[in-house]
Structure 1
Amino acid sequence: MATKARGARPTRTEDQLGPKSANYHTHALTRGLVLLDLLASVPPPLTLTGMHEHTGLPKSTLVRLLAALTEMRFVVRVDERPAYRLGHKVMALADAYVSSLDLSAAAGTYLDTLSRETQQTSNLGLLDGTEVVHVCVRTPDRPLRFETSPGARDSAHCTGLGKMLLAGVDPAELSAHLPPEPYAARTDRTITTLDEMSKEIRRTARRGHGIDDNEGSTGLKCVAVPVTVGGQMLAALSVSGPAGEFGREKQKDYLERLHETAEALAADYDVVAVLRRMYESLGESPTRRA
């Protein structure tokens, strides 16, 4: 989902301010919601004159709407110009909204399609310290497949998801997301030093996708792409399966489908709301780049 721009908005059209056929109360409610949306979309505080310029509504109408919203504590008046910002009651609504969402349900449909089309396991992951947390997983209907489950964790240094997520970390903080050297070598292809990992992360950032080529487990390959919203990498999305099924053309097809799915996830308001909450809950980890 693309986040709302923090800047000026064009004047609302009559349709956005409420249908002409609506009765007075419905029209007033619609206009009140438009004001809340406006206040959420521009840098606070916003003056009465600014609201008039954005919406085209008469100032007398705005004063009545703001009085009701202020009384209900959805809006707070901050000075005598007068100027306003959102109130704490909006946060209660936002918290209730996010709490009602199920990431498996919100993102699962996209991962189901990805897994069915690629016939590989699809996985959505977030970075937590030196590990990747698998937050949504879907597997193909076939006996030979990569198995993991939501909530499972894996090392970031030897996974496609991990490398992609590490590419979003401030380079100065990269070592804080990696174990002490030498890193555990799961196979003879696992990268085990900070110097080599730094080079690999730079390659990952340049090409725009992460690769685990028999590094976490022999015979297993994974490719991953970022899920980016407003320039911020919130998560990474991957497909994993038997290494023999990741030839050049197949991998190119997987990446195309991964990017399409990542864009769809980033455009879904529900998915992004949950991912943001999860991302922020892991904010005690070292700095991550936008």
Structure 2
Amino acid sequence: MPRVVPAVIRALDILELFLDRSQLSARDVAERLALPRTTVHELLVTLVARSYLISVPGQPVEYRLGLPLFQLGSAFAGRLDLVREAQSVARDVAAACNEAVHVAVLDGADVVYLVKVDSTHPVRMVSGVGLRLPAHCTAVGKVLLAGLDRPALNAVLAGGALAGMTADSITDPDRLREHLERVRAEGVAVDNGESDTAMRCVAAAVRDHSGATVAAMSLSAPIIRWTPAGHEEWAGLVREGAATLSARMGFVATPR
């Protein structure tokens, strides 16, 4: 097996320290990595020479990340393909439960489905890639609306009363705002027959490298297969699937 280079590993360890700190001193680095100060000094000098770190003006032993790291991150983000990655993750989630899995994005007040992996059951959800539905009536849509800041959400809801798809759809904007607060707190949204009385759905957010909600993943099943125990299991699966897709999109979760 090829040998890893210890100096490179240590240099990467130093850069990763900046994931949760915008500025670190040479002493901070030495203490957090338990490395000799002379070793840390040599590594920092090398990283500064290549501009991966920069010395803080007026504080020569304090360091910040340099522009090349932003350029590398941007190049990586630019090569990510949401649909390709979503298709792969959705297949894995669907295989774990044999129910339909969707990935959708927000377009104004609607959601547009980018990916669908169907179940093999004879009774299944009627949907497809490219389908457009009112966001407030779907689990994926509620997740995406919950990811908007207040001005953006107000703009979506500026038209007043919302059109419903079933008798269970949330059509009052104020009630929807309250509902979205619960979605943010719980991390998942549920469609309880709000877009189709025969279907149930649970969804979670997909985030990009900046932490922004860029898509939502859902798991859908007919009401005849939707049980309380199944709901808990499927909510866990869709959380895991959305987290996996988020990681592929460059999102780094903050440890709790």
TM-score class, shorter-chain normalisation, is: 0.7 to 0.9
* Ranges in structure 1 where 5+ consecutive residues have no aligned partner: 1-20, 278-290
Instruction: List aligned pairs for 1:70-109, cutoff 5 A.
Output: 70-79=48-57, 80-109=59-88
Q: TM-score under structure 2 normalisation? A: 0.75
**For this pair of structures, how many residues does the alignment match?**
245
CA contact (8 A) 2:217 2:241 kept: no
Instruction: List aligned pairs for 1:1-290, cutoff 5 A.
Output: 26-38=5-17, 40-79=18-57, 80-142=59-121, 144-149=124-129, 152-168=131-147, 174-178=153-157, 180-198=159-177, 200-201=179-180, 209-217=188-196, 219-227=197-205, 234=213, 235-246=215-226, 249=227, 252-266=229-243, 268=244, 271-272=246-247, 274=249
- Percent of aligned pairs with the same residue? 26
The alpha carbon displacement at 1:146 in A equals 2.6
Q: TM-score under structure 1 normalisation? A: 0.68
Task: Out of 110-119 and 167-176, give the one that drifted further.
Answer: 167-176
**Amino acid aligned to 2:42:** R
The alpha carbon displacement at 1:120 in A equals 2.8
Question: Over the residues paired in the alignment, what is the CA RMSD in angstroms?
Answer: 3.5
Cα displacement string for residues 73-101 of structure 1 (whole angstroms, at most 9, x for unaligned residues): 11111133411111110112112222333
* Ranges in structure 2 where 5+ consecutive residues have no aligned partner: none
CA contact (8 A) 1:103 1:136 kept: no
CA change 1:254–1:46 in 2 (3 A) is same
Return the structure number with greater relative CO, CA threshold 8 A, min gap 6: 1
